[in-house]
Amino acid sequence: MSNVKLAVVFYSMSGTNYQLARWAEEGAKEAGAEVKVLKVEELAPESVVQGNEAWKATADATKDVPVVTSDDIEWADAIIFSAPTRFGNVPSQMKQFLDTQGGLWANGKTINKVVSAMTSAQNPHGGQEATLLSLYTSMMHWGAIIATPGYTDPVLFGAGGNPYGTSVSVDQDGKMIEDVEGAVKHQAKRTVTVAEWVKNGNQ
């Protein structure tokens, strides 16, 4: 059996989704995957980023993380996306990246990629599920195989029990309210396992 190649692709403004991505990396590596953690390109003006303390700190913390490219998507057997919710949808930075993968899609390079997603918001009902569903809609167009966590492990209930993907609420101080580390790692391992089935069953 060959190792699954996993790309963890995130967008993070205050650091939450960067942390989710790192936990996903840990879980996937424990499952034997080869992992790349990658960020989508920042589209906001530098002056705006630098004018926000949390945003600037996250930009500094992630400055050495490579920006994701189409080559990374082609390389990956599986992809975990992590991004905050913006009015029940993915941030424009993530959407811009997805929208520029038409070349890969047209050449059949996104077919049978195993995908999963995570998100965050300030409120439990602030659009977390809608954000994941909107991202998965794009994945259906890709011909990808969506691997949600469902209710496959009790650890998910302590994280809020979102069957679409791990989601976390963040308070006014930027601190995560639910304990989601275990849920993220379970989701990553499940994604890798499904990708192993697809990859090794297709050889």
User: What are the Cα distances from residue 97, in Å, to 38, 70, 106, 120, 127?
Assistant: 12, 9, 15, 19, 21
State the Cα–Cα distance between residues 128 and 88, nearest whole angstrom: 7
Residue 44's CB is within 10 A of a number of other CB atoms, namely 14
* Domain of 31, in residue numbers: 5-201
| Nearest C-alpha neighbor of 62 from the set 8, 116, 119, 4 | 8
The total domain count for the chain is 1
pLDDT digits (tens, 9 = 90+) for 151-183: 999 999 989 999 999 999 999 888 999 999 999
φ, ψ of residue 40 in degrees (nearest 5): -80, 155
Residue 115: beta bridge partners?
79, 146
pLDDT value at position 9? Answer: 98
147: domain CATH number? 3.40.50.360
Over 80: is that where the pLDDT of 16 sits? yes
* CB 45 within 8 Å of CB 5: no
Over 60: is that where the pLDDT of 1 sits? no
